Structure 1
Amino acid sequence: MDLTLLYRGPLASCDYDCPYCPFAKRRDSREQLRADREALERFAGWAEDSTGDRLSVLFTPWGEALTRSWYRRTLVRLSRLPHVRRVAVQTNLSCRTGWLAEADTATLALWCTYHPGQVPYERFLGRCRELDGLGVRYSVGIVGLPEHLEQARRLRADLPEGVYLWVNAAEGHVYTDAEAARWTELDPLFGYSRHPHRSGGLPCRTGESVVSVDGDGQVRRCHFVPQVLGNLYDGSYRAALRPRACPLAVCDCHIGYVHLESLPLYDVFAGGVLERVPAGF
């Protein structure tokens, strides 16, 4: 079967201190990092052995994954498996990029976020140019705060036309139509992020062909619905996979609402759902 997995292990540490993030500058203990590494290695082993499925994997850590060697090794490892269609990770792109030369860039992709004030602009743009040189598929995004607008415009002008720049609506910020229009000039798809989407009772691919997995292997339909469907490692989740409606009133996160069948986003992002790259980019 075709199965998409959103993996989020115990890792919660980050090297940035963005004021809009609750995990800014959080430090995991040595024991927590060891547990995260062991959990990831177990997951990678499961993926390697699951040759009867066609897998797509997106790593969505609370913290920054690519500063940790075990995530870089795992991305390379999974990218080279013939039954893995895509492996991607959300990252602030603060790590060096040379390790990507070992990966299969036909399979691996990056979902990158630029955080003004956390990294010099030229350093971030330089990393993007390194990805271009390595032939790595990626998207770049920014949080749509008013103070980020000029930096976003600069970034759009400096990135290659073939790189999609997405804008996430800032949590708690209400956009006027004039403000939304300015962001839409940079990201034609900003309208999908501007407002939460009604999801209650509507069909969603999560829980059928898309699942969320934590470090213990507990499988849920997505990151936002706490009900456990089973465990990845004993296979008990499989009996629970079926078409189902969303139990929540609204969905306001891209990694959730992109899977709603009531939205056309599987067509919009055809071939790039996990790395947030629209068709044609």
Structure 2
Amino acid sequence: MLTAADGALALLYRGTLSSCNYACDYCPFAKKQDSRAVLARDAREVGRFTEWVAAQDRAISVLFTPWGEALVRRHYRTAMHILATLPNVRQVALQTNLSGPLSWLADMDEASRAKIGLWCTYHPDQTTLARFVERCARLDAVGVRYSVGVVALREHYDAIRALRAALPSHIYLWLNAYDRRGPGYYAADDLAWLDAIDPWFAQSRRPAPSRGKGCLAGEAALSVDGDGTLTRCHFVPEVLGNLYQHELADLLQERSCPRFKCDCYIGYAQRKDLPFQRVFGEGVLARILPMARSAR
């Protein structure tokens, strides 16, 4: 069986949480508030998932991909801390706006902290550059690996320039194409500049056709929701089984992509015909380039 870049089964977890403390106007979850009951349910689900991973004897990597902001919630920080201590866990990654507490990272031992990867998004209209860069510097200080990215809105161009200048040269700055763009949204000169910052930006704005292409999703990676429902990835709704009820060996198999296109890194990073598993290697879940390959 073909495995992911680090040889571990990748589990992409998206639970019940959908609340966010930011109010980006392009995001449907901006400033959404979950009730106490929903947060309590999410905490139980995350705890159950953590216990399941701890009971396994196979190598596992985890990427938390919440709809909302998870690091402001204690139960996600606790789960990441516990998972990183487990001998069978290779990586623990999470998507975040980096606004939550960071002191818990310094409290971890070095070996566990080395497993953490943060996929950090900078939102120029929600926080200052100085605050965001200071928080990145805190990650550098404790040795936590991370990537940083921005939605490439035209009104963010100055912020992208300033962010690239402020970040250490080894930090990969990824750019997501604005998903409501129409023809001509990006001018040719802008594209040349954006592509120079992120050599993979073209895949975000002009996804390579996916249908029929080989993919690790469903073979070496699975998506799991709060109640354990398993799909091959976040973008193919076909249910394969349940994490807590079925043997994964019976579910994992080579599958080709049924979608016309895949325009999200979470999905296309698993494509066998694209270079992301090779280029990102062990940092593939959190979009972290190996230091030698990071470019300014």
TM-score by length of 2: 0.92
Q: Check conservation: 1:197, 1:257, Cα contact below 8 A.
A: no
Partner of 1:79: 84
- One-letter amino acid of the counterpart of residue 93, structure 1: L
Once the two structures are superposed, the pairs formed by residues 90-169 of structure 1 within 5 Å of their partners are 90-103=95-108, 104-169=112-177
Between the aligned partners of 1:85 and 1:221, the Cα distance in structure 2 is 20
Between the aligned partners of 1:162 and 1:141, the Cα distance in structure 2 is 14
Between the aligned partners of 1:257 and 1:188, the Cα distance in structure 2 is 15
Between the aligned partners of 1:273 and 1:108, the Cα distance in structure 2 is 12
Q: How much has 1:234 moved relative to structure 2?
A: 1.5
Between the aligned partners of 2:106 and 2:147, the Cα distance in structure 1 is 18
RMSD across aligned C-alpha pairs, in angstroms?
1.2
Between the aligned partners of 2:249 and 2:72, the Cα distance in structure 1 is 33
SS at match of 1:185: helix
Partner of 1:13: 19
Q: How much has 1:2 moved relative to structure 2?
A: 2.7
- One-letter amino acid of the counterpart of residue 15, structure 1: N
- Aligned: 1:209 with 2:220: yes
Q: Flag as ranges the 4+ runs of structure 1 deviating above 4 A.
A: none
Between the aligned partners of 2:186 and 2:130, the Cα distance in structure 1 is 29
TM-score by length of 1: 0.97
**Cα deviation 1:232-280 (Å, max 9, x = unaligned):** 0122443121001011111010000110111111111112101101233
Q: How much has 1:162 moved relative to structure 2?
A: 1.2
Moved more, 104-113 or 234-243: 234-243
Partner of 1:198: 209
SS at match of 1:212: strand
Between the aligned partners of 2:247 and 2:88, the Cα distance in structure 1 is 21
Between the aligned partners of 1:209 and 1:224, the Cα distance in structure 2 is 16
Q: Check conservation: 1:219, 1:237, Cα contact below 8 A.
A: no
SS at match of 1:90: strand
Between the aligned partners of 2:199 and 2:34, the Cα distance in structure 1 is 38
For residue 31 of structure 1, the aligned residue among 33, 37, 52 is: 37
Partner of 1:3: 9
**Cα deviation 1:151-195 (Å, max 9, x = unaligned):** 111111111111111111110224333221121222122122121
- One-letter amino acid of the counterpart of residue 153, structure 1: R
- Aligned: 1:229 with 2:247: no
- Aligned: 1:70 with 2:81: no
Q: How much has 1:77 moved relative to structure 2?
A: 0.6
For residue 186 of structure 1, the aligned residue among 191, 194, 197 is: 197
Between the aligned partners of 2:136 and 2:168, the Cα distance in structure 1 is 9
Between the aligned partners of 1:172 and 1:140, the Cα distance in structure 2 is 21
Q: Check conservation: 1:229, 1:237, Cα contact below 8 A.
A: no
SS at match of 1:111: strand
**Cα deviation 1:53-87 (Å, max 9, x = unaligned):** 10000000000000000000110111111111100
- One-letter amino acid of the counterpart of residue 170, structure 2: G
